[in-house]
A and B are shown apart, each in its own frame.
Chain A
C-alpha cells in the first residue's frame, strides 16, 4: 500500500510522539491499523493471531520511535515490524518441519476440493509459508532478500516458494497454462 502519511507529516508526528504526545501516536495507529491488520491476517493462521500481531506491532512502534530516522517511508518501517511480529511464530514454533507437512496435507486435500476456487479461498489454502512469501513479494513489494531475512531462509528458497505458490494458485483456480 502507499504511505498514507506524507513524509514531512510523519516526521512531525514521530517527533511529537517521542516527546510523549499520545495523540500523535494515536494518529499513526489510526493511519496504519488497517494495513497492519491486513498484512497480519495474510501472514497469520487465525484472526486472533493477527490481532495479537497488530497489538505487538504498535507496542514495538511506541518502544522504538527513535529507530525511525525519518529518512525512509514510515509505512516501510512499520510494515517490517508488522511482518516480523506476524512471522514470530515461525521462529518460535519452528514451523519449518510442520510446514512441509502442511504442503503434503494441502496436496492431499486437493483431491477433495472443487475444480475451481476463488482467489481468496485459494490464497488461504496455501501453506502458511508459501502464502507469506507470495503476499510479502507480490502485494507488499518486498524483495526476496528482505523476505529471506525476515523468515530465516535463503533467497533461492524464497524464490522457489513463490514459484510453487503460483503453480498451486493456477491449478486451484482452474487456470492450467500452456507452460508445464
Chain B
C-alpha cells in the first residue's frame, strides 16, 4: 500500500467502525480529504440515529395476546393426549380383567376405534402446523371456542372417575373429542386454502 490513492468508502467505513487497516487509519490521519470524508461518514451515522421513531398505527396487543393464549391451549391439548390415552388403555385392561355385563369385545373395539380417530385428528392438526400462521379474528374465535371445548372434555377424560365409567361412555367421549379436533382441522385447512398456501 502507498499514499498515492485515497481510501475507498468501504475502507473509511471500516476505520470509522474501529476495524480499518493500519494503512487506512494512518492515511485518514494524514490526508485532509479522507479525514473530512471520515468525519462525514461519522456525521451521517449520527444523523441516521437521530431520525424520528415510528409509532404503530394500531394497538396489536389484543390480537397477539389472543393468539398466544390460543397457541398455549393447543400445546396443552397435545400434551394431554398421551396421558389421556394411557389412562383409557389402563381402563380397558381393568375392564378386561373384571369383565362387564355388556359385550366386552365390542365395547373394547369401539373404544379403541374412537381413540384412534382422536389420535389421527391430533396428528392431522400437528401436520398443519397452525402456530406458523397468524389467524384473523373470525378464525381465531372459532379456534378458541373449539379448544375450550376440547379442554373441558380432556378434563373429564382425565378425571379418575372416568375409569369407573363403562366403556361405551368412554368411547362416546373419545368420539366427541375426535369430532372437535376434526372441526379444528377444518378451520385451519380452510384458512390455508383461502391463503393459497
Restricting to A119-174, which residues have a CB under 8 Å from any CB of B?
Answer: 119-120, 123, 134-135, 138-139, 159-160, 162-163, 166-167, 169-170
Q: In the bound complex, do residue B71 and residue A37 qualify as a contact, i.e. CB atoms below 8 Å apart?
A: no
Known: A38-B53, A119-B51, A178-B36. A55 touches B10 (CB 8 A): no
Q: Name which residue of chain B comes closest to A37, CB basis.
A: B56
B181 part of interface (Cβ distance < 8 Å):
no
Report if B165 contacts A (CB, 8 A): no
Cross-chain contact of B68 among A25, A41, A160, A178 (Cβ < 8 A):
A25
Bound complex: CA A56 to CA B34 (Å): 43
What are 29 of the A-B contact pairs (CB < 8 Å)?
A22-B68, A26-B61, A26-B65, A30-B61, A33-B56, A37-B54, A47-B57, A50-B54, A58-B60, A58-B61, A59-B64, A59-B68, A62-B64, A63-B131, A139-B45, A139-B48, A139-B51, A159-B14, A160-B10, A162-B13, A163-B10, A166-B41, A169-B44, A175-B40, A177-B33, A178-B33, A179-B12, A179-B36, A179-B37
By Cβ-Cβ distance, the 8 closest A-B pairs, closest first, are A62-B68, A163-B10, A178-B33, A163-B9, A138-B45, A37-B56, A179-B37, A38-B53
Give residues in A with beta carbon < 8 Å to B: 20, 22, 25-26, 29-30, 33-35, 37-38, 41, 47, 50-52, 54-56, 58-59, 62-63, 119-120, 123, 134-135, 138-139, 159-160, 162-163, 166-167, 169-170, 175, 177-180
